[in-house]
Every structure is written in C-alpha cells, then in structure tokens.
Structure 1
Amino acid sequence: MSEVLLEKAKTLEPRNPNKSTALFGGKSSGILNWNDIAYPHWYKMYKRLVGNYWQADEVNMSGDVRQFPALTESEREAYLKIIGLLSTLDAPQTRTALLLSLYATDPSVQSIMAVIAQQEAVHNESYSYVLSSVVSLEEQNESFQLGRKDPVLLRRNESLEKQYNKFVEEPTIENILRTLVYTSLLEGMFFYSGFAFFYNLARNNKMIGTSTMISYINRDELEHGRFIAELFRATLAENPEYNTEEICSWVYDQFKESVELEMEWSHYVLADIEGIDLDEMNGYIKYRANKMLRMMGLSEIYPESVNNPMKWIRAYVDNFDGTKTDFFEQKSRQYSKISDLNGFDEL
C-alpha cells in the first residue's frame, strides 16, 4: 500500500464545510459547531473532560511531608522510581496530543486533543509538585533522570519511543493508527502498576495526598483512554483499507509485548512492597490490556484475566465519575461539576 504523507490541517478554510469530511486527511472549514459534528456523542466526552478541571497545588501534601521519612526504604525507592516512570510517560503525551490535533481535519478532535494536552501538562506538573513536597531538589532531579538512564525503564519504553518519533517523521494514516494504539496502551495500561502502588499506600493510611493526586490523574486517563480508543475505531472505519489482518496482528503483538514489559517493570519496582501480590499484579496488567482491546473493538487475548484480580483497587479507580459503562464500575469518590450531561442520577 502506497503511504501518503498527510498535510497539516488548514487553520481556516471557509470554502470547506464546517462538518469535516474525515477525521484525518479530510476537508473542513476549521469552524467548530458542536451541534454539527461527524460524531455527535464526542461533545459529551468533551464536557466530561473539561468538567475534570483541577490543579496540582489544590492537594494538601502536609501529611505526606511528615510521613515520607517514615516509609520503608523499599517504599521510598519505589515512590521515587514510579514518579520518574509517570513523568517519563506523561511528558510526551502533551506533545503527542498536540501533534495528532495538527493533522486532524475534524475540529472536534482538535478541541478534545487540546483539552487532553492541557491535562497531560497538569499531570506532569503534579509529579514535580509531589516530589518538591517530600524530597530535596537533588533527589527530585535524580527521579526525573530515570527515563533517560534506568535500563529497565528504557527497554520498557523503547517501542513507544520509536512509534511516537516515527509519527513525527512520517505523518501517515497508518502511523496515526499505530500511534493511537500506543497512546491507548499508555493511557490504559502502562500507568496502572504505578497507580496501584500509591493506592496500596493509601489503603494503609500512608501518603494520602499523593494518592489523591494520582486519583485525579487516573480519572483523566480513563477519559483519555476512552476517547483514544473511539478515535482509533472511527479512524479505522473511515479508512477500511487499513483494517487488515496484518494491522490486527501488529496490534495484538504490541499488546503482548507491552504486557510482558509492564510485568517486568512491576516486578522490578514492586518486589519488596508489602501488600502487593506480584501474581495478582500480573493478572491486573492483563486485565487492563483486555479492557483496552475491547474498547478498541478487538478481542481479549488473556481469557484467564477477564475479571479484576485486585478488587480492592476499585475503591480508588474503576468508576470515578459514575458513568454507566463497562469501563467504569464502582461509585465515585469525587464529583464533577453538575450539568445536564452528567445529571444527578449519574452521581
């Protein structure tokens, strides 16, 4: 198949229709009327995203400041390594969301990606905020160097790094699809062993401020993952020539490889953490992979992991906003702003 490099979407082209003719590579005026978009339900996604607005310094870290020195050495080490991991993953997400929006000819995608990019920037700021609360500047800087130096983390991120950079060099429909796959992996699976560590601390009444911050980030990532999965499906539907056995096999291969790397990372960073069973963590990673595959319209690849083996984590994550879908399962700990799109019956 001959690959055509996409041009960046025009900022304003009044001769084209307001409703885009395609998500990528189509025509649109650049004028966004939310009442006249190709995928109307994405307006609700946009509203949920902007309803999640928060800032890092809203979280009180005073308790964590007192508790951090009392953590075990293994917990302190894992805390710093996992913050290093999360910052390594979130930093490029801001840029990747903006790059995708540059080539999106649907203005609703551009707007949603702008919100996602802003939220990823807040996530990255929050990691600096929590570290500055509990450790010295030297230790903060060391934690943020992990993404450049730690061999396990470098190996874990290698495939993602290659695909993200390939999209920059070759902006094609195929590379957009492949980048969306890795973004789904990142938003829906790569973070989750790290999130589990902080939730495990919280269920033992440790580092509650950090856990609260992670919960806000987690709520955002659930929404990001849901939108990215839908964008993947819609882009594939609009470009059926890419809906091939080869592409499908590639997606499954990336998920399998990523699951193995995520399990390796979790064993590396969580081996000595009391309260986390590494066999359960393996199952939880596979469970997250199955969920993301289902959301992308694909089949599960781990039939033994269709249920969450770490049920205690539901109190912190699976249903932050009470949305009645398979992806969100339990009652929320936080309320979004009320509107006619997330009315009182949703809370």
Structure 2
Amino acid sequence: MANLLDKAKTLEPRNPNKSTGLFGGESSGILNWNDIAYPHWYKMYKRLVGNYWQADEVNMSSDVKQFPQLSQEEQDAYLKIIGLLSTLDAPQTRTALLISLYATDPSVQSIMAVIAQQEAVHNESYSYVLSSVVSLGQQNKSFELGRKDPVLLKRNENIIKYYNKFVEEPTVENILKTLVYTSLLEGMFFYSGFAFFYNLARHNKMVGTSTMISYINRDELEHGRFIGELFRATLAEHPELNTPEFTQWVYDHFKESVELETEWSSYVLGNVEGIDLDEMTGYIKYRANKMLRMMGLSEVYPEYVENPMKWIRAYVDNFDGTKTDFFEQKSRQYTKTSDLNGFDDL
C-alpha cells in the first residue's frame, strides 16, 4: 500500500517558511504570501476573498409569489435540483478542510479555508431559498433526496466512494482522485441544475433564486480553477504517479460521470419547458472538456469544444483561459500561463 500521509504540523519553526512540497513536504506553518512556492496563487486567494456574499442579501419576495404559479413539473424540478445541489455542496466544506489538513503548503491551507467557508454559504443558501418558497416539510423532503432518490444515489456513488477512500487512506494518489471528483463536482455536476434556474430566469421566473445561483456559480468557477491548478501541481511534484494508467483512470471517470450526469438531467429536466435535452447533453460534454483542459488533459468530446448553450453566458461572470499540457511538465517547469489561467466561458 502507498505511504499514508501524516497531517501537516501546525507549527514547526525548524522548517522553512516556503513549503518544500504541497503534500508530504516541509514548512514552518508560517505563511508569507510574498514567499510561497506558487506565487500566482495569491491572486487566486484575493479573487476568492473578493467574491464574499451572504445568502440573505438576495431578495426572494418575488419568488415567494411566483413559486405557486410554476407548473407542477417546474416545481418538482426546482425541489429536486435544490436537493441535488445541497447533496453536492454539503460535503465540499469538509472535503476542503480535509485536504488542508494534509497540505504542507500554508497557502493551500488558506485558500482551502476560504473555499470551505464559501461552500458553507452555498449550502446555507439552499436552505434559505427553500424556506422562502415552501413549507418546512417540503424543505426536509428536498434535503432527503440525497439519501433516498435512486437516480441521485447512483449518480453520486463514485463521489461517495472516492471522498471516503481519501478519509480512510490519506495518500497522495487518493488526494489526486479526490481532486478529480472535486473538479467534476465544481465544474460539471452542478451545471444542469444551474441551467434549470437560468432557464427560469430567462422567462422572468424565480429571478431571486437565479441571482443566488449566479453567485454560487461564480464561486464554483474559481474553486474549479484552483482545484485544476492544485491537481496539476501535485501531479508534477509526484511524477511517479504521472502514468498512462492514471491518465486513463481520469478519462474513464470523466466519461462515466458524463453518462451519469446525462441520465440525471433527463430524469429531472425531461418535462421542463424550455430545456432541450440534446442541447443539455452537449453542454455537459462541453463542461467535461473544459475541466479536463483545466487539469492539463485533452478533450474527450472533440465535437463539443464550443458552448452549445450560448444563452447561459448571460447569467454568470466569465474567464479567459488557455490550455497547458501539464501532464508533460516537471515540477520545476510549473509556471503560470496567464493571470486568468482558467475558464474562457461557461
């Protein structure tokens, strides 16, 4: 079995301030943002902090009046998708904190602390929007979906497996696999749900909820961008794990995740007016391609390198970006390709 990582020490003054490694390295625990191993991560930290918002800042008064006027199909999808999003976001707070416990680079610890706080706000926001439009009984039923809905359970099976495996066996390989699923979660699994709320908004329905979702979406874009960078940097520091077998593992799990997300989307959005399921399938594949590029890999769906749902770009901030063939690089070659090394659009 691979060597298990020890939790990073809180303070160890005998070690250097600049970390010698992201995981399994040495550092004093003292964070000097002007002397970190990956200097451009300070800009990522600043962007994350700049996104601060609170759930109850969003005015839900119009949504309260509109929810009963939605079709039964729209109401059902609304509640199921909130249940999905809460199922995905709730463990992200803990996962970010767990990664930080084993990170021996204090800049990673700080960035993960911000991500964890934002994921907690996201989960609070789902409770907030539901409490605005439905009874407590309906709220609880929506939050139970993650434990009971068979389609959702099937869809989340691998997330459960690999997140829990990291807890049980904290190795660098399991951290990398957790980062793969975190990247999928932040960059693809949310997006059919986001699209549903944006579709309502473009028909002037539930605009308060859509505004909340756009804030969450903006955060998730930043999270996904950092997770992609952390994955690439960790792999570069551990070239023994940079194997064709592991690369294929990533591709296989992306493809399987696309199939599961497509199945979920058909299940939850099949009867919703204004949603084209073929277009949604293309959008899911497009998002998978984008996350693979962020992780330094090539697209697996070459016919979906452009966004097939152009209208969705109006609802969230966008990023410019470039592709880096990071799997071919060594740790010493790790350089920032641009200040906005991330998403070019949704």
TM-score, normalised with respect to structure 2: 0.93
- 1:341 maps to which residue? none
| Contact map agreement 2:319 2:342 (CA 8 A) in 1 | no
1:97-152 per-position Cα deviation (integer Å, ceiling 9, x unaligned):
00000000000000000000000000000000000000000000000000000000
Secondary structure of the residue that 1:145 maps to in structure 2? Answer: helix
Question: In the alignment, residue 86 of structure 2 is paired with which amino acid?
Answer: S
Unaligned runs of 5+ in 1: 331-347
State the distance in 2 between where 1:243 and 1:328 align.
Answer: 27
Secondary structure of the residue that 2:266 maps to in structure 1? Answer: helix
| Contact map agreement 1:270 1:276 (CA 8 A) in 2 | yes
> Shift of the alpha carbon at 1:86?
0.1
- 1:317 maps to which residue? 316
Deviates more, 1:200-209 or 1:312-321: 312-321
- 2:91 maps to which residue? 92
Question: In the alignment, residue 216 of structure 2 is paired with which amino acid?
Answer: I
State the distance in 2 between where 1:159 and 1:273 align.
Answer: 27
Cα 1:93/1:279, change in 2 over 3 Å: same
Question: In the alignment, residue 224 of structure 1 is paired with which amino acid?
Answer: H
| Contact map agreement 1:318 1:328 (CA 8 A) in 2 | no
Q: Is the aligned partner of 1:140 residue 2:129?
A: no
RMSD of Structure 2 on Structure 1 (CA): 1.3
- 1:60 maps to which residue? 59
Question: In the alignment, residue 199 of structure 1 is paired with which amino acid?
Answer: Y
State the distance in 2 between where 1:320 and 1:239 align.
Answer: 29
> Shift of the alpha carbon at 1:329?
3.6
Question: In the alignment, residue 272 of structure 2 is paired with which amino acid?
Answer: I
> Shift of the alpha carbon at 1:328?
3.5
Secondary structure of the residue that 1:23 maps to in structure 2? Answer: coil
Q: Is the aligned partner of 1:327 residue 2:327?
A: no
State the distance in 1 between where 2:14 and 2:319 align.
Answer: 43
Question: In the alignment, residue 81 of structure 1 is paired with which amino acid?
Answer: K
State the distance in 2 between where 1:253 and 1:329 align.
Answer: 25
State the distance in 2 between where 1:112 and 1:143 align.
Answer: 31
- 1:272 maps to which residue? 271
Question: How many positions carry a matched residue from both structures?
Answer: 329
Question: In the alignment, residue 209 of structure 1 is paired with which amino acid?
Answer: G
- 1:177 maps to which residue? 176
Question: In the alignment, residue 17 of structure 1 is paired with which amino acid?
Answer: P
Please list, as runs of the form range in 1=range in 2, the aligned pairs for 1:173-322 lying within 5 A after superposition. Answer: 173-317=172-316, 319=318
Unaligned runs of 5+ in 2: 322-338
State the distance in 2 between where 1:77 and 1:321 align.
Answer: 36
Secondary structure of the residue that 1:180 maps to in structure 2? Answer: helix
Cα 1:321/1:53, change in 2 over 3 Å: farther
Question: In the alignment, residue 327 of structure 1 is paired with which amino acid?
Answer: F
Cα 1:102/1:56, change in 2 over 3 Å: same
TM-score, normalised with respect to structure 1: 0.93
| Contact map agreement 2:282 2:308 (CA 8 A) in 1 | yes
Cα 1:148/1:238, change in 2 over 3 Å: same
Question: In the alignment, residue 100 of structure 1 is paired with which amino acid?
Answer: I
State the distance in 2 between where 1:317 and 1:216 align.
Answer: 8
Question: In the alignment, residue 47 of structure 1 is paired with which amino acid?
Answer: K
- 1:35 maps to which residue? 34
Cα 1:166/1:324, change in 2 over 3 Å: closer
State the distance in 2 between where 1:153 and 1:317 align.
Answer: 26
* Percentage of pairs with the same residue: 84
Question: In the alignment, residue 185 of structure 2 is paired with which amino acid?
Answer: L
Question: In the alignment, residue 243 of structure 1 is paired with which amino acid?
Answer: N
State the distance in 1 between where 2:244 and 2:66 align.
Answer: 52
State the distance in 2 between where 1:189 and 1:328 align.
Answer: 15
State the distance in 1 between where 2:99 and 2:66 align.
Answer: 41
Secondary structure of the residue that 2:297 maps to in structure 1? Answer: coil
1:242-279 per-position Cα deviation (integer Å, ceiling 9, x unaligned):
00011001000100000000000000000011111000
> Shift of the alpha carbon at 1:320?
7.1
Question: In the alignment, residue 343 of structure 2 is paired with which amino acid?
Answer: F
State the distance in 2 between where 1:116 and 1:246 align.
Answer: 30
Cα 1:321/1:127, change in 2 over 3 Å: farther
Question: In the alignment, residue 139 of structure 2 is paired with which amino acid?
Answer: Q
State the distance in 2 between where 1:279 and 1:318 align.
Answer: 25
| Contact map agreement 2:258 2:288 (CA 8 A) in 1 | yes
Q: Is the aligned partner of 1:154 residue 2:170?
A: no
Please list, as runs of the form range in 1=range in 2, the aligned pairs for 1:99-118 lying within 5 A after superposition. Answer: 99-118=98-117
State the distance in 2 between where 1:266 and 1:228 align.
Answer: 25
Secondary structure of the residue that 1:53 maps to in structure 2? Answer: coil
Secondary structure of the residue that 2:299 maps to in structure 1? Answer: coil
Question: In the alignment, residue 187 of structure 2 is paired with which amino acid?
Answer: G
| Contact map agreement 1:74 1:272 (CA 8 A) in 2 | yes
State the distance in 2 between where 1:317 and 1:199 align.
Answer: 10
> Shift of the alpha carbon at 1:317?
2.8
| Contact map agreement 1:84 1:143 (CA 8 A) in 2 | yes
1:269-311 per-position Cα deviation (integer Å, ceiling 9, x unaligned):
0001111100000000000000000010001000111110000
| Contact map agreement 2:64 2:132 (CA 8 A) in 1 | yes
- 1:21 maps to which residue? 20
